[in-house]
Amino acid sequence: MFDASALRHHLATAHDLNASATVLEWDQETYMPDGGEDARAHQVATLRRLAHEHFASDTTSTLLARAEAETPADPLVVVARRDFDRATLLPPRLVAETAEAVARAKSAWRRARETNTFSVFAPHLERLVALNVERANLAGFADTPYDALLDLYEPGLTARVLDGVLGDLRRDLVPIVEALAAQPRPDDAFLRARYPTETQWTFTLDVLRDVGFDFQRGRQDLSAHPFTTSFAPADVRLTTRVDEHFFPTAFFGTLHEAGHGLYEQGIDEHYARTLLAEGTSLGMHESQSRLWENQVGRSRAFWAHYLPQAQRRFPDALAGVSLDAFYRAVNAVEPSPIRVEADEVTYNLHIMLRTDLERALVEGRLAVADLPEAWNEAYRDVLNLVPGTDALGVLQDVHWSLGTFGYFPTYTLGTLMSAQLFDAAEDALGPMEGYVERGDFLPLLGWMREHVHRYGRAKSAAAILLDATGQSLDAAPWLAYIRTKYGALYPGAGL
Ligand code: ZN
């Protein structure tokens, strides 16, 4: 064990440097004045560079090799090897070229979106696709370069497995969305009444406390784009934003981030200051946020508990709104061109078509110049609508401008896993409805802590899923959840 502990001690320095950079990034999104931008960029870059040099060093290589000889199955050793190989795989030239290409692409994407001119972004996107293909070729892959990119965000996932699951999902989901879209839209005008900002803010804090977020080991602040970040399991930061004239923005945004934050707070303290002290994959992370936002937060039982409170807090907006009317409003299904505004049913169609398109780009089956047309065609096919402009279409998401390809599918993986995990928790604890109606969230949280959270990166997403649910990744449980819930909400749809 001597060498694994020497390795652990050595890597803690890199971890501290990275966590410090993360504190600065959190501050940048929450409290830093605009004037701090240049100085902050240097500070973060310096810390990240020092962390990288320390981590990708000969010392790490030596300690890692010794630890592998002695305790090859130690999860820290396994994860350290994976991260070390990844950190040292790319020649410095490629790292520098990618960083520069991303910096240029980000501002080009912003300009392209503001002026609705795809051609401004196109050459930068071409460059980022080429750099990603180069990276995939260096990493190696079995079937397609897309495999190597998926592995960056969802370790172990292959395009072949993804194809199977998304194929099942698409076959059933497209007709479900068609049937729901043909139904009259429920009245949700009261969600756009005035909800005073201060009252919304305290409501989100109270709900965070109720679901088990620990304010001794975390906090919530405001930011333009909500996110969750962790410096340690004992210091987890959430952000939300408040729209005074749209209730769901802050409330469901907070519940979503709460799911991410509860995961980070639930990681075994023993893993603090190691590579294991974070969620195991983006998909597993998203399973937790979707579970609290949708399975719990958009359930009828949840609002049986919270609507009376909400009506006391917002008497002008919600007087006379019945539980059924509220429940229908926060679950309105309507195909729209914008992913981030999509309801939980149509959301995954947005992800599927992005997955198809980015994979075609990476595999060289689609030219960047043809992307806007392919995008609009896919929306026509799958959601039966055409975005009015490229700004509302192919240019809407930041992901590709950051050079991330293979990230989008993790949103859908999270959705599917959330249903599998929720079902398993109900098998163990009994129907959730009764607990949720009483505002008793701790049994569900306790189950997630036990079966998911505590492992951090010490256990893969696939192993967590299999041990916790007895199944591998499967679209059927989520489809069953959607049919049951929306079949009752929209009896005319015949689901
Ligand atoms: Zn999320």
408 has a pLDDT exceeding 70: yes
Sign of CA dihedral 297, 299, 304, 310: positive
Q: Ion ligand 1 — residues with CB under 5 Å?
A: 289
Compute the distance from residue 25 Cα to the ligand 1 centre, in Å. 18
Q: How far apart are CA 401 and CA 404, in angstroms?
A: 7
Above pLDDT 70, what percent of the chain? 99
Compute the distance from residue 2 Cα to the ligand 1 centre, in Å. 38
The pLDDT score that the predictor gives to residue 298 is: 98
To 5 degrees, how large is the angle CA 10–CA 15–CA 20?
135
Name which of 470, 481, 489, 404 is nearest 128 in CA terms.
404
Answer yes or no: are the C-beta atoms of 176 and 486 closer than 8 Å. Answer: yes
Mean pLDDT for 210-235 is: 97
Q: In the chain, what are the domain boundaries?
A: 4-123, 160-493
Compute the distance from residue 299 Cα to the ligand 1 centre, in Å. 19
Compute the distance from residue 257 Cα to the ligand 1 centre, in Å. 6
Name which of 125, 157, 429 is nearest 283 in CA terms.
157
**Per residue in 68-80, pLDDT tens?**
999 999 999 999 9
Compute the distance from residue 410 Cα to the ligand 1 centre, in Å. 10
**Per residue in 317-330, pLDDT tens?**
999 999 999 999 99
Mean pLDDT for 4-25 is: 95
**Per residue in 437-452, pLDDT tens?**
999 999 999 999 999 9
Tell me the CA distances in angstroms from 488 to 230, 302, 419, 485, one per residue in order.
Answer: 39, 16, 18, 6
Residue 36, token pair as written in the block: 């701090």
The overall average pLDDT reported for the chain is 96
The pLDDT score that the predictor gives to residue 3 is: 60
Mean pLDDT for 7-19 is: 96
Phi/psi of residue 331, nearest 5 degrees: -125, 25
Q: Which fold has domain 160-493?
A: Neurolysin; domain 3 (1.10.1370)
Residue 225, token pair as written in the block: 């784009």
The alpha-helical segments, DSSP class H, found in 342-430 are 347-362, 371-383, 409-429
Compute the distance from residue 101 Cα to the ligand 1 centre, in Å. 26
Q: Catalytic residue, from 154, 257, 293, 358: name it.
A: 257
Mean pLDDT for 284-296 is: 98
- Residue 2 confidence class, pLDDT cut points 50, 70, 90: low
Answer yes or no: are the C-beta atoms of 388 and 337 closer than 8 Å. Answer: yes
**Per residue in 82-133, pLDDT tens?**
999 999 998 989 988 998 999 899 999 999 999 999 999 999 999 999 999 9
Compute the distance from residue 283 Cα to the ligand 1 centre, in Å. 9
Say whether 341 is catalytic.
no
- Residue 406 confidence class, pLDDT cut points 50, 70, 90: very high
195 has a pLDDT exceeding 60: yes
1 has a pLDDT exceeding 80: no
Residue 269: how many other CB atoms lie within 10 Å:
11
Q: How far apart are CA 168 and CA 476, in angstroms?
A: 8
